[in-house]
Amino acid sequence: MEDRAQRTAQTTDKLSKDELQRIEFYLEEAQRMSHTGSWAWNVEQQQDVYWSPELFRIWGLDPREGLRAVQTISELVHPDDLTKLLELRDRAIENKTDYEIDFRILLSDGSMKYIHGFGHPVIDTSGTVVELVGTIMDVTQQYQARKELEEALEEIQELRDRLYRENLALKNEIDRSSAFRDIVGTSRELQSVLALVSKIAPTDITVLISGETGTGKERIARAIHDRSHRTSRPFVAVNCAAMPAALIASELFGHERGAFTGAVQRHLGRFELAEGGTIFLDEVGELPPETQLALLRVLQEREFERVGGHQSLRTDVRVIAATNRDLGAAVRSGTFRSDLYYRLNVFPIDLPPLRDRKEDIRPLVEHFIERYCLRTGKKKRILSESVLELLESYSWPGNIRELQNVVERSLIIDETDYFMVDERWLSHEFHSAGLTSDLFANVTGRTRQLIEDALTESNGRVSGPDGAAARLGLPPSTLESKIKSLKIDKRRFRKR
């Protein structure tokens, strides 16, 4: 009976050892596949008491040599990470709390691994920490993959930035070849301005252009850029009055990812986009005080920082500013920095209003007519002396921009051979309620009468040498479109 009990105990003990070995095998395999090692450190003895086989492999040591092969932490951990690791370990013992850390280890072959570790204090019945146990995971592959991803994202961002610059340069090249930007006029006032442009364009001097709205300040700025050594580089125009005060610093100087809510990626500012070229700051008097200070730094030191960033960026950009305000008065009232004003006002240019250069009205009107007709395929209109006298008698508070609007409005509405202008367009009350609709109704009625008269004479025919289109000097397709829009029934003009 006793022998049977002894044999049973031996069998049970053998099964327990087999089970324990199997569990240890599973644990070791799991650690090997996950690149995770476990350890135990005796607090009183100040030394390691256990390392799992995978932990040896992570550190580049032979598991068969056991703990005698383990070097001190100071020899294994990267010097820049050692202090942080020891402080966390001591704090965990003192506060009896877990800790988590990322650090680097140096292998005997000179290579480096990135480690993510956990530590846990073991407390005896008296409340004393007797051991620390924990795990470390080799995250070198994850670190390298993340680094490669960040580098790829950085490269993508750089490609996006380059594409942005190239698109800007292409747009700038298109603008340079466009007749829309040509400065038109022969008046003495305009020629004086252009003479100044010729003198200062080859330099890098900062220019402040003053003038009423619509006088062509941006065109003068472009003319300076186009005649400078920077002409092959971007010309970047910024309307300071059109941007919210909270965002204008970001637009001018860019921002880093996370600089503010909605900043999901790095954004290049206009100064970076204009690198090597010219930046035109229209309505510069509308800049908020903090942005005025940042602009002053650019003018003084040729450097700036992105919003949310800490790196100073050098810039090689010519600054041309413009305003329709009296900046001198703004300085006196305290709304504009005097030091910035003097930095901008190195070379002032005052653009005359259109009312002071009325001899330029004829060439401007002819230029706008030609450009619009060329763009739309319409027949060029004839400018009569009576209409020209009407235009020259007006004060043009909106200057050239207002004149351009009047010309295009006429060419859209009226399709006769002559350029026509309704006197009510040249009135400050033109946009008041009711007048605009009455005016267009009147013009539409006149157009209908011209078309109906031509259809009567052509027996309802639109095309052909004797058709209504030929009589009106219009392409047949244009007249058909106009007949359709006015809902004119051609059939009622045919003789039965």
b/e per residue 206-230 (b: at least 16 CB within 10 A): bbbbbbbebbbbbbbbbbbbbebeb
Structure tokens at 264: 């999901």
Give 100's strand partners.
Answer: 118
pTM score, whole prediction: 0.55
% pLDDT > 70, the chain: 82
DSSP H or E run through 304: strand 303-304
Domain 356-493: state its class: mainly alpha
Q: What is the mean pLDDT of the chain?
A: 82
Max mean pLDDT range (12-26, 70-84, 130-144): 130-144
Q: What does the pLDDT look like over 352-410, one tens digit per residue?
A: 999 999 999 999 999 988 888 888 777 788 888 888 888 998 999 989 989 988 888 88
Mean pLDDT across 432-451: 52
Domain range 167-352, its CATH number among 3.40.50.300, 2.60.40.10, 3.10.300.10, 3.40.50.720: 3.40.50.300
Is the pLDDT confidence value at 106 over 70?
A: yes
Residue boundaries of the structural domains of the chain: 14-138, 167-352, 356-493
Residue located via tokens 């140096």: 106
**Helices 217-226, 188-200: inter-axial angle, 10-degree rounding:** 40
pLDDT-derived band at 170 (thresholds 50, 70, 90) equals: low
Architecture category of domain 14-138 in CATH: 2-Layer Sandwich (3.30)
Structure tokens at 165: 């610059």
**pLDDT for 440:** 41
**pLDDT for 443:** 45
Higher pLDDT, 478 or 311: 311
Q: Which residues contact 392 (CB under 8 A, 6 or more apart)?
A: 358, 361
Among the listed ranges 15-24, 211-220, 301-310, 404-413, which one has the minimum average pLDDT value? 15-24
**pLDDT for 59:** 83
Give dist(CA 306, CA 271) in Å, integer. 10
pLDDT-derived band at 174 (thresholds 50, 70, 90) equals: low
Mean pLDDT across 37-47: 86
pLDDT-derived band at 212 (thresholds 50, 70, 90) equals: very high
What's the number of CA atoms in the CB half-sphere (13 Å) around residue 140? 13
